[in-house]
Amino acid sequence: MSNLETERLARAAVIQYEANRGRTEVEGEGGKGSGYDLKTQNAQGESRLIEIKSTKKPYLTARWLEPLEFEVMMTNDNYWVYAVLNAVDSPRIRAFSKTEWLEHFDREELKRWYKFSRKEFAGAEEP
């Protein structure tokens, strides 16, 4: 299966996850060149800018944020990173708030790699 197909399946899982929690996709928001993949909103108008990181594995060990993604995260408190695990077979999602994600950032590195231990994904949820 191609990475593009894995990303498509992960996005579909995130949209379902958000819908199950009362948030809907804001059409025309996010995607290439925006610094995040998806924008959702609840009935009260509260929004999330969501960057989706997906893998076919049941955990992430490290993930990269592109410079634009990092810039948008740093200027938006409603920025979230959703790790979609087992994206192809049985997706499970671990949603990280901006604050949670930044706890993993090694500020000494010039590259924006985020490191995780497997135990941090024990609470991953089904869409």
Residue 127 burial by Cβ neighbours in a 10 Å radius (0-12, 13-18, 19+): middle
77 occurs within a structural domain: yes
- For the segment 17-44, the average pLDDT, to the nearest whole number, is 94
Which residue has 């200027």 as its token pair?
75
* Residues above pLDDT 90, as percent of the chain: 51
Instruction: Give the global pTM.
Output: 0.84
- Is residue 83 within 8 Å of residue 125, measured between CB atoms? no
Residue 26 in domain: yes
pLDDT exceeds cutoff 70 at 38: yes
pLDDT of residue 73: 92
Both tokens assigned to 107: 């500020």
What value does the mean pLDDT take over residues 7-34?
94
Beta-strand relationship, 62-64 and 47-54: unpaired
In a domain, residue 45? The reply is yes
The string of pLDDT tens digits covering residues 45-98 is 999 999 999 988 887 766 678 889 989 999 999 999 999 999 999 999 999 999
**Structural domain boundaries, residue 23:** 3-121
- Here the CATH number for the domain that contains residue 36 is 3.40.1350.10
Alpha helices in 20-66 (DSSP H): none
Residue 121: what pLDDT?
Answer: 63
Rounded alpha-carbon distances, angstroms, from residue 3 to 54, 71, 106, 114:
9, 24, 26, 20
